[in-house]
Each structure stands twice: as C-alpha cells, then as structure tokens.
Chain A
Amino acid sequence: MTRTASPVEPTRDAALVSELAAPAASPAIEAVGLTRTFGRRAALRDLTFQVRSSECLALFGPNGAGKTTLLRVLAGLLRPTRGKARVAGVDLPGGGESRAVVGLISHQTMLYAALTALENVEFSARLYGVPSPAEAARRALERMRLAERADSPVRSLSRGMQQRVSIARAIVHDPRVVLLDEPYTGLDEAGASALSDALLSLRSAGAALVLVTHHLSEGLALATHTAIMRDGQFVQHEARGTVAVEAYRDAYREVVGR
C-alpha cells in the first residue's frame, strides 16, 4: 500500500483529466477539481477521482472531513461550487437524468413513518418510473428479508428494520450508482448481512458504489478502492489490494493523525 499525506498527486490528476476527455467507456462517477464551499468554509477541495461500473469506493475519514457533502453533491442535492462532477455521463447538477440512476442510502431512513413499508418503497418506485411499482417494491422488500412486514407502518418497525426498508427504497429502481452514508447504522446481524448481499449483487450487476463509513472492516469488505478524506481532500486514494483490516487501521490512524 502506498500512502501520502498530501492531496492526490498532480500527475494522477492530469491522467484523469485526459481520461475524461476520452469518449470510450465513461466511468459511472467522475470528478475533476470538485470543490464545494459553505460561505468561506470549503467542505470539498479540488477532488479528482473516478469510480467505474462494478467498483466500490469506500470513503473513510473523521467527522467533518467532507464525506457526506461529497455524497450529497453526487446525489444532486448540492451544487458543486467549482470543478466538474459527472454521474452516468451527465454533468452535475444534471437534473432528473442523472438522479434517475442514483440510489441514496443514509443513516437517516428518509421514510414516512405513517406509511407502511410497502407504501414507502412503492412511492419511491413510482417516482423513478419503475414498471409495476407494487411488484417491484415487494421484490425489493423480499431482497431485504422484510416481505412479512411489508404492510406494517414504518413507525411500528424496529430501527434496524426501518433501515432495511430504507435500503429497499433506495435500490427498488436498480440504480447504476449507489451512494451510501453510514448504511450499517442500526442494523442487526441479519440486516447487515442482507445489506451486504444486496450491495454485492448490485455491484456484480454493474452498479458503482460509494460507501461512506467509520467502520473499516465493513468498508473494506465491499471496497475495490479506498480513500481517506480529511479537510475536504483525499489524503489517500488507492485500489483496495489485499491489505488486512488491522494493517489498514494502522495506516488510517497514521494518515488521519488519531
């Protein structure tokens, strides 16, 4: 594993920029010089990276590093201040065209408590124009091992079950890009296993994943690439390789400085 305490190297940036110019096999996610500020504070600074189909980029970093901001930009919820970001070949903010291929999962469930699990997932399916939305919603809930609670109001479900409904909501339209912000929060073993299975299945079907987590073992289990963020920058970005979790944890502490 190679590590650096500085942002991504200029030579690598140049290589990525030239790749962006090439028409062939465009990555699912690409960013060049991506910057996002809130007032004077820069939450993202000059990020340049790519995530291709069937790849999973695990993003680690301390609180306030800019991980969630990056996901919100890629999800179309925030506009980049400078630089370029592209999802499924569409420049952000790209309107409905880019959002249609993205699934967003957060530690907040983003569900309506008064509606049933099925109604929540079906509502999402309809927003994405999924054919036979009720059937698709039932299939997504089955995938998350929640078929028997499909007709229960979300407010009556445990936190872990709500999180699984939220994941079913986010994957009901078979997204090409899945953005995950601490998705394992509140999940029990069965829920975590169902989520990992679903994510692996999406990845093998060609989806690109960006996974933000504080849990190195969960992130590394799914990742094909890893990045460590600090102060809005990638201080390390590399292919996953075969490094053990403990070795990566040591490296993480060294890079983050805690």
Chain B
Amino acid sequence: MNAMAPLVRVSSLKKRYGERTVVDIDSLDVAPGEVLAILGPNGAGKSTLFRLLLLLEQPDAGTIEFAGDSNPAQRIAGVFQAPFLFTGTVRYNIEVGLRARGVDGAERTRRVGEALDLLSLANLADADVRALSGGEAQRVALARALAVRPELLVLDEPTSSLDVTLRTRFREDLVRLLRTQVRSAVLITHDAADAYAVADRVAVMQDGRIVQVGTPEDIVLAPATPFVAAFTGADLFLHGTVSAADEQLITVRLSDGVSILATAGADARERLRPGAAAQVAYRPEDVVIAPGSGAGESSAQNRFQLLVASIAPSGALVRVKLEGEIGLVALVTRQGAESLRLEPGLAVVAQLKAAAVRAFPTG
C-alpha cells in the first residue's frame, strides 16, 4: 500500500496560535484506499490538523499536497465533532454538498437516495433536523459527507458525542462505509478503540507532533514512547535499571530487587545498555494468573509467585492487585476470577510474556 504514491502528503507542516505551535508535523502520508487514524489526547492539535487537512485554515509553514492537483477542495469532505445540521430537512442537508458541487437534477436525487439508504435514513428523509436524536444527527452528518463521494473523508471525533450503545452502532456503520464508499479517510480521535476498529494505520499525536505511525498492532505491541504506551492502555509503569541486554530481550532490575524481562524498540535498545535507568510498561490484561502451585509449561518468560492483595470490579472485568516480590495489577474476566476462586491472601503465579513488557529509557 505504501509503495503507491500517496493521495495526501503532509510535509513540514506548522501551525501556530500566537506563541504556541499547535501542529508541527515533519511528514505524514495518506495512501490511496487507506484509513488513517490520528490518535491523541485533548489538546494534541488534532482538531487544528483536521481543519488544515480540509483546507479550512492556512498553515504557517509546510504543505499539504493532494495527488493530482485539480481543485483539492472539491475532492475532500469533512465531518465535524459537533455537526451543525442546516435548518431544514434531512434531505436538504444531504443535498448541501451536492448543490455546492453543482450536481443537479436526477443525479442529485439518485445520490441523495443512495446516501439515505447507506445510513438507513430513508424513513427520515423529510424529517425536520430539529426532531432528530443525537445518533440520527450524526448519521445525517456522515451521509451528507458521503453523498459528495469524496476522495478523502476527514472525520473529527465522530463518536465522541454519542452514548455507548450509539457509539458501537455508529462505529460499525463507519467501518462498513469507509471500506466501501470512500477512497481514503482520516479519522481523528482520542479514543484508541475507534482507531483500532476502523484504521489501517494509526498516527499517535502528542503536543502537535506525530510520535509514532504504525498498524494498530504495532502501536499496541511496540509503542515507541512511554506516552504512546500510556495512551494506548499500558498505564502501569515500573522503574529500575538495565542489568542485561541482548538482541531480543532487556533485563530490568526493579527497585525492589526483582528482575523483569522486557522488549524494546530499535531506538530505545540503543540506549538501554546495562546500567541505564529504565522503565517498563505492561498492560494489566496481559497478566495471566494461575493457581499458586501451577508450574506447568508456559511461553511466559516472566513468572512471579504472588499473593492476591485485593479484588475490585472494573467494568465488565475484575481488577486484581497482586503483591510479593513485585507488585502487579491484572485484569481478568469475572468468570476467570470465579473459577480461580480469587480472594485476598490467595497464593498465585502471575505470568507476563516478555513480549508484553515494553522497556523505555528514562532521563
């Protein structure tokens, strides 16, 4: 995919508001046929990048180039975080972009009908937009953007204003439609679940910069920085010193004396020489708990004999705090917790694959 000429190429893009640089991107490409997610926390500059990509704002430096140079503004469409539906009917809203592009008559009627069908809005075609629910309004906003058949569709936090049930449904619609109806898409989101569900590649944005670009798997399994690890769910960090390092594995001796095997990215490995200060991150869902005497074969390279300190429900899962030679937190299913008869004081073996532990240099 990346071998093809990109549909959009962002180079040395900078945008400042006053003294503050809100977007500072060296390079970022969107390939034809690709869905790229821009993932980042609030204030990372995502919405500014959204407006820049839609050519609604001028950058202070750098360029956004579209393959083939014919009128890029006519080849893109955007869906805003809080979509404003123009006063009138659902049909009128879907016609807006088509009218702007001079699509008339039977062709316009046909395209409006198609867009209504794509988002199951046909029965609401003549409804006043003021009568719509939040989920319906968001679908109208998506339908009117799809109706113009953009080569690049840019969406800013399209699910953030929806409740959980609507979000799941809308996300499913989005996955289906982005695959079938548009050439390429950029999805801007602070929600890693959105990004993983929809995108081919994820670009993680922090303080206006892109800190890592990769497949969802890359981002989850090989976060480039502690920020990326933390932002994508590995909120648990342990500090220590590198005691050994080879091609594959880094051994980090933690402050309480115990060692943990970890992996690291190529850049990080350069700096993770023996004696270097390091931190390791893991995801609580990667910690596997087995009964205390369980000494069976396992591919886990980190094994710790620990005691259950506390158990607390965490949504649909159970958060288990473990103490002993090392303090860990595990997330297990309720069923798993029941079948293991987890209770405070129970001795268990906690296993954590080295591949699921990520080491980063500190300082």
Physical interaction between A and B: no
B interface with A by C-beta (< 8 Å): none
A interface with B by C-beta (< 8 Å): none
